Structure 1
Amino acid sequence: MSEEIEIDTDDLQRRMEGAMGALKTEFASLRTGRASASMLEPIMVEAYGQKTPINQVGTINVPESRMVTINVWDKSMVGAVEKSIRNSGLGINPQLNGTIIMLPIPELNEERRRDLTRVAAQYAEHARVAIRNVRRDGMDQIKKAKADGMSEDDQKFWETEVQALTDKFTGLVDTALESKQAEIMQV
């Protein structure tokens, strides 16, 4: 068979980049002792009968390094926003001031820092699993192409390409994890 069968490595790379993007978002939600609006991104609020991201029910501000404020637009939603923050597992105790919810960011103790590094490691493992799933899809494409008449040399070439892509992205996950854990443990 003279026609060459190609595997769509661009699609595989795009999907692996998506796993990295999700990991970065999850890492941003881990607090490191400094206030950040991004740490509230994963919190969903029960608003008007459906789950809504917290940034769609109020304005999030960081007035100082250890304080986040949320100015809730609808007065009736203040309780729901406060409840969502309490149940989020962030370990932050919201304080109410009318429609403004203040979130003082406490100093992290050593035990909480270790817990957060373990959570970061779990997020990294989820990203690695997602990347390996993309790798598996790529290898399945190669097997199907082999059945459709791909030469053994081409099969080896594409398997090497997919594995190199996988190694590159798992390396990026490991680097991001080391960086995040160092940031969390920094006092």
Structure 2
Amino acid sequence: MSTADIKKNAQDKMGKSLETLKADLAKVRTGRAHVGILDHVMVDYYGNPTPINQVANLTLVDARTIGVAPFEKKMGAVIEKAIRDSDLGLNPASQGDLIRVPTPPLNEERRKEMVKLCKGEGEDAKVAIRNIRRDANEGLKKLVKDKAISEDEERRAVDEIQKLTDKFIADIDKTVAEKEKEVLTV
């Protein structure tokens, strides 16, 4: 393993951590409806827990309503129950073949809870980035110990990994700040 491998590996892992944060923040509900908030709802499909988007077509009916059209008619009640039982606080209503899922407007207290949740997700992502940095630095120390690289090369590589860490932490802060602004916009 070389310093280039260690840096590339660290960069890839940090990128994945940032993508995971973005995916987690997409699930945080804002005042507007979007189909992504139903992504983690699992439906009992013939005894198997299945993601809702594999048993129904999800669409936006309007700015505050999600439309869920089951692929099979008899799945309607099961999907409705799965949405109601999820931790999203949504109350779906059947309307023929379509299940309408209105998203209630967020009150000030709920918005502040959402911001806290976003900040917590951001902190978790930063911890993950710092752990990746630590692992990369330990890998570099091992290379020096095995006399595969010089201490000067290690120092340069540690500096580059630190710059990478700083860049990703700045990206995390920016992503969380954008989501906070989105959540607080009434």
Same fold by TM (over 0.5)?
yes
Q: 2:111 aligns with which of 104, 113, 116?
A: 113
Is the Cα contact below 8 Å between 1:7 and 1:138 reproduced in 2? no
Once the two structures are superposed, the pairs formed by residues 40-119 of structure 1 within 5 Å of their partners are 40-119=38-117
Is the Cα contact below 8 Å between 1:23 and 1:127 reproduced in 2? yes
Deviates more, 1:41-50 or 1:11-20: 41-50
Distance in structure 2 (CA, Å) of the matches to 1:88 and 1:143: 47
Deviates more, 1:88-97 or 1:66-75: 88-97
Shift of 1:5: 4.4
Distance in structure 2 (CA, Å) of the matches to 1:106 and 1:123: 23
The reply to whether residue 182 of structure 1 matches residue 181 of structure 2 is: yes
> How big is the alpha-carbon RMSD for the aligned residues of Structure 1 and Structure 2?
1.7
Once the two structures are superposed, the pairs formed by residues 8-47 of structure 1 within 5 Å of their partners are 8=5, 9-47=7-45
Unaligned runs of 5+ in 2: none
Cα deviation, 1:147-186, whole Å, max 9, x if unaligned, reads 1112111111111111111111011101111111111011
Q: Which residue of 2 aligns with 1:6?
A: 3
Shift of 1:20: 1.1
Is the Cα contact below 8 Å between 1:7 and 1:142 reproduced in 2? no
The secondary structure found in structure 1 opposite 2:113 is: helix
Distance in structure 2 (CA, Å) of the matches to 1:12 and 1:28: 24
The secondary structure found in structure 2 opposite 1:146 is: helix
Q: Which consecutive segments of 4 or more residues in structure 1 shift more than 4 A?
A: none
Question: Could you say if the C-alpha distance between residues 76 and 132 of structure 1 is closer, same or farther in structure 2, counting changes exceeding 3 Å?
Answer: farther
Question: Could you say if the C-alpha distance between residues 29 and 139 of structure 1 is closer, same or farther in structure 2, counting changes exceeding 3 Å?
Answer: same
Shift of 1:33: 0.8
Amino acid at match of 1:156: R
**Number of residue pairs the alignment of both structures matches:** 184
Unaligned runs of 5+ in 1: none
Deviates more, 1:28-37 or 1:96-105: 96-105
Is the Cα contact below 8 Å between 1:124 and 1:173 reproduced in 2? yes
Shift of 1:48: 2.7
Distance in structure 2 (CA, Å) of the matches to 1:177 and 1:77: 37
When normalised by structure 1's length, the TM-score is 0.90
Identity of aligned residues (%): 39
When normalised by structure 2's length, the TM-score is 0.91
Distance in structure 2 (CA, Å) of the matches to 1:107 and 1:118: 18
Distance in structure 1 (CA, Å) of the matches to 2:96 and 2:102: 16
